Structure 1
Amino acid sequence: MIKTIIFDFGNVFINLDIEGATQQALKTFEIESFSEEMIAFNSFYEQGLISTDEFLEFYTENFPKLSNDELIDVWNFILKDFPEHRLDFLKQLKSDSNYKLILLSNTNSLHINWIKKQIPIYEEFKSCFDAFYLSHEIQLRKPNQDIFEFVLSDNKLNAEECLFIDDNTDNINTAKSLGLKTWNITPETEDVSNMFKIKSNLF
């Protein structure tokens, strides 16, 4: 029996353009692929292990033609709209009080700052959750096992009573290995607001 629903943020509530952002970055940086160092710095930043200043300094040293504002625009290109019907769905879930609601997102300060400025419903969205975990704030990151163990322990949850929703297969596989029920959502064809229809077998 599902008692807790753990949601990802990107491509579950807020729409992302992952492929578009990748192509935009490669074009702006005039490179064919991301170096291992770039991938590592992005991960460090997402995990809150380096500051925004340190993150931007790394990129300005490697791409001196670009200003901080240009770098921030490239970094935030991935973020798109937040359809309000998904907030309505979440508010109804909260109102019904049948499930503990948790957000678990890999993100970073620049993305959250953009969202706070551009998505007026963000604070209302955040208030719907019983617990709200952002990777850069807790210094843990999906798909690592320790972030799931932290959430389970922090909320005294039984894994088999939790449903975890994410668009990333690696994150889903880690959750499955710990015994959580999962929904590997496909953003192009599925919407979280149809959860009870699409995943009726779990409820």
Structure 2
Amino acid sequence: MIKTIIFDFGDVFINLDKEGAMLNALELFELEELSEELIAINTLYEQGLISTAEFIEFYTQNFPKLSKKEIIEAWNYILCDFPPKRLDFIKQLAKENKYNLILLSNTNELHINCIKENVPFYEEFKSAFNVFYLSHEINLRKPNTNIFEFVLKENNLKAEDCLFIDDTIENTQAAAKLGIHVWNNNPKTEDIIDLFTIKNNLF
């Protein structure tokens, strides 16, 4: 029986434009694809292993034509709208108090600051969760197994009592290997508010 629900943030609650952000970045940086070095820097930043200042400095040094503002705007391009119906869903779930609610997101300081500025109900959303984990704050990142082991250990959870919801297949596969129930949601065709209809076999 599911006792804990672990939610991703992007493309579960807040909509993302991953394809548009990538195309925008490649055009801005005049690249055909992101280099391994850029991917590594982005990953380090998302894990909180380099600061925002260091992250921006890396990009301004490597792309001197671009301003700090242009780099930040390109980085935040991925963030779209946060439908209020999803806030209502998680608030109702919190109110019912049937499940332990955890958020587990790969994110970073620039994205969270942008969300705080543009989503007026961010704090209300955050307060619906029993625990709120952001990768840059805990220095761990999905799909690495240790992030799931950390969540289980920190909250004294049994894997078989947990459901993890994420739009990225690598992340749900990693959680499933530990015995966690998973839902790899498709943000184009599925909505978190339909959780108990789509995954009714688990509840």
Please give the range of the TM-score, normalised by the shorter of the 2 chains. Answer: over 0.9
CA distance in 1, matches of 2:153, 2:194: 29
Please name the residue that 1:102 is paired with: 102
Moved over 4 A (4+): none
SS at match of 1:147: helix
* Pairs within 5 Å for 1:157-196: 157-196=157-196
1:152-203: CA deviation from partner (whole Å, max 9, x where unpaired): 0000000000000000000000000000000000000000000001111111
SS at match of 2:163: strand
CA distance in 1, matches of 2:118, 2:98: 31
Please name the residue that 2:89 is paired with: 89
SS at match of 1:39: helix
CA distance in 2, matches of 1:118, 1:125: 13
Q: What are structure 1's unaligned runs of at least 5 residues?
A: none
Letter in 2 for 1:126: K
Q: How many residues align?
A: 203
Compute the displacement of 1:10 (Å): 0.1
Q: What are structure 2's unaligned runs of at least 5 residues?
A: none
CA distance in 2, matches of 1:90, 1:79: 20
Please name the residue that 2:34 is paired with: 34
CA distance in 2, matches of 1:112, 1:174: 25
Letter in 2 for 1:61: Q
CA distance in 2, matches of 1:185, 1:31: 31
CA distance in 2, matches of 1:186, 1:31: 29
1:115-158: CA deviation from partner (whole Å, max 9, x where unpaired): 00000010000000000000000000000000000000000000
CA distance in 2, matches of 1:42, 1:89: 32
Percent same amino acid at aligned positions? 66
* Pairs within 5 Å for 1:114-193: 114-193=114-193
Please name the residue that 2:6 is paired with: 6
What root-mean-square deviation, in Å, do the aligned CA atoms of Structure 1 and Structure 2 show? 0.4
CA distance in 2, matches of 1:172, 1:29: 31
CA distance in 1, matches of 2:72, 2:163: 34
